Structure 1
Amino acid sequence: MLDADNTALVIIDVQGKLAQIMDQHQALFEQLETMVKGAQILQLPILWVEQIPDKLGATIPQLQALLTSQAPIAKNTFSACGNREFLDALEATQCTSILVVGIEAHICVYQTAMDLHRAGHHVEVVTDAVSSRTKANKQLALNKMSLAGIKLTSTEMALFELQKVAQGEQFKQLISIIK
């Protein structure tokens, strides 16, 4: 089970024009916003990476607006784990459970999740907060990650699993962001 004291959220490459051509991109953006707001309510560490931002552009404005207290980590490797700055930031969180969201499911999300899993982390991919340009590539990635032992979850499932109880101020805040 996920535990809010030991879980970090990793946001992968939700950038520029590429983000706009993802399968069901509007629904994806809504789930990403909910996931980030939920992580903030639960006080989870959030790591945010961008793939070659000078070429692919910045993270979509909806997410940038929520992440004003931090800057993205630029990378040029498909897996965020190929970036020393990301690995150092992850280590600093001391979290062993990682929720992964972003794009593209079959490339950067897949390779990052697999590397985190191989490194011994408990990895869960938030299926309604990842996408690819095609539904088939997203499904292939989810299948392959699941077969490798990576867990699959959804935005609501993860947030309520982390919350644990249906009471208190955090619970009220979570209910208000889940539509």
Structure 2
Amino acid sequence: MLSRENTGLIVVDVQGKLARLVANSDAMIGHCRKLILGAKALGLPIVWLEQNPDKLGPTVEELAGVLGESSPITKFTFDACEEPEFLRAVRRWGRDSWLVCGIEAHICVYQTALHLRRLSYDVHLVCDCVSSRQEANKALAISRLTHQGVSMTGLEMSLYELVKDCRASEFRTLLDLVK
């Protein structure tokens, strides 16, 4: 089970034109926004990535606006774990479990999640918060990651698992996000 004391969120490359070209783009971006707001309400650390932003553009405004007080980590490798600044950020937070969202599911999300898993992190792919240009590639990523020991979850499932109790002060905020 996820716990807010031991879980963080990684937001992978929801940038520029590509973010608008992936399957179900509006829904995926909306779900990522809710996930980020929920993570913030629960006090989770958030690590935010951008792939070659000079070429792909910045994180979409819907997400950048809620991630605002932090800065993205720029990367050029598809696997964020190959970027030393990313690994330093993940280790600095001292969390064993990481929720992962973003694009593209079969490239940067897949390679990053798999590498984190191989580093013995408990990785949870938030399935309704990832996408690829083609649905088949998203399905392939989910299938391959599942077989490699990465857990699958969803926006609501992960937030409710983290809040644990309807009496928690954050519950109302989370409920309003997922309604």
Cα offset, 1:23, TM superposition: 0.2
TM-score by length of 1: 0.99
SS at match of 1:14: coil
Partner of 2:17: 17
> Structure 1 residue 174 and structure 2 residue 174: aligned?
yes
Instruction: Give 1:92's aligned residue.
Output: 92
Distance of 2:109 and 2:67 partners within structure 1 = 20
**Rounded Cα–Cα distance in structure 1 between residues aligned with 2:70 and 2:123:** 23
State how far apart, in whole Å, the 2-side matches of 1:95 and 1:169 are: 22
1:109 corresponding residue in structure 2: 109
Q: Deviations over 1:121-155 (max 9, x none)?
A: 00000000000000000000000000111100000
**Distance in 1 separating the partners of 2:29 and 2:14:** 9
Give the Cα–Cα distance (whole angstroms) in 1 for the partners of residues 137 and 168 of structure 2.
40
SS of the aligned residue for 1:168 comes to coil
CA–CA distance in structure 1, aligned partners of residues 128 and 176 of structure 2: 19
1:28, distance to aligned residue in structure 2 (A):
0.3
Partner deviation per Cα, 1:14-47 (whole Å, 9 max, x = no partner): 0000000000001101100110000000000000
Post-superposition offset of 1:12: 0.2
Which consecutive unaligned segments of at least 5 residues does structure 2 have? none
How much has 1:168 moved relative to structure 2?
2.8
What is the Cα deviation at residue 176 of structure 1? 1.2
| CA RMSD after TM alignment | 0.5
**Residues paired across the two proteins, number:** 179
Give the partner amino acid of 2:79: S
State TM-score, norm by structure 2.
Answer: 0.99
Matches within 5 A, 1:16-165: 16-165=16-165
Q: Structure 1: state its 5+ residue gaps.
A: none
Q: Deviations over 1:100-130 (max 9, x none)?
A: 0000000000000000000000000000000
